[in-house]
Structure 1
Amino acid sequence: MGRSTFTRIAMAGVFAAAVIVTSAGPASAVSDKTIYLPYGRGYMKFIDDGDVFEICDTKADGHGVKGVLKKQYLAGNISTIFTEEDGGDSGCDKHPYNVGNDGWYQMELTWNGGGGLVESGWFNE
């Protein structure tokens, strides 16, 4: 077998392996995402396994935190899916919501004591 024949066979094998790898199963879901408020005031986390959002006030300063989930539909309009607040009690608040691939989602988190908001990037499954 000549060198060029061997090269062609090797390249065909690489191409076949690439096709198998790229077509093996459905697209994978997004992984967990977390955004944090400055000064350790709290966080909002998307837990992909179960599609649950966790909103946590992590500083006993008399102010809670507010998490918002927004969705941008394929047509381009943006709407608020839910608002969830945490503070004044033990533990974090959780809000289940099934994130799909029919649009893009963004988490927003604010501290109820004032200041700006923290946003995640847009994501979907």
Structure 2
Amino acid sequence: MPQTEFPFLLPQGYLDSEGNVHRQGIMRLSTAYDEILPLRDPRVQKNPGYLVIILLARVITKLGDLDQLNTKVIEGLFSGDLIYLQDFYQRINQNGHSRLLVVCPHCEGEFEVETLPVGE
């Protein structure tokens, strides 16, 4: 069975209203519906940049100890964390995994490496 959920570790972490930092999370693979549904949202029609906020709120299934994850949480992320999550989303959804193809600068051999969450 293919892997459909991927753990991540945010570079800075989400700071909740009580001052708790939430860094560890899980993102699932997106579906076609995940990418289509936000296009109907008035916030996206008014500002296409909001698409990523809704999309991430749909595919992130866990973030730290938060009971609920929604667009307000994603809006509250530090910009570095948002960029990290956009990149992570692209990698797992384009490749189906979190591995990267790399080339050795010495022998020019190609091989895959499993990416570790930032900070590990």
TM-score w.r.t. the length of structure 1 is 0.26
TM-score w.r.t. the length of structure 2 is 0.27
Higher helix share: 2
Q: Which structure is richer in relative contact order (CA contacts within 8 A, separation 6 or more)?
A: 2
* Structure number, greater radius of gyration: 1
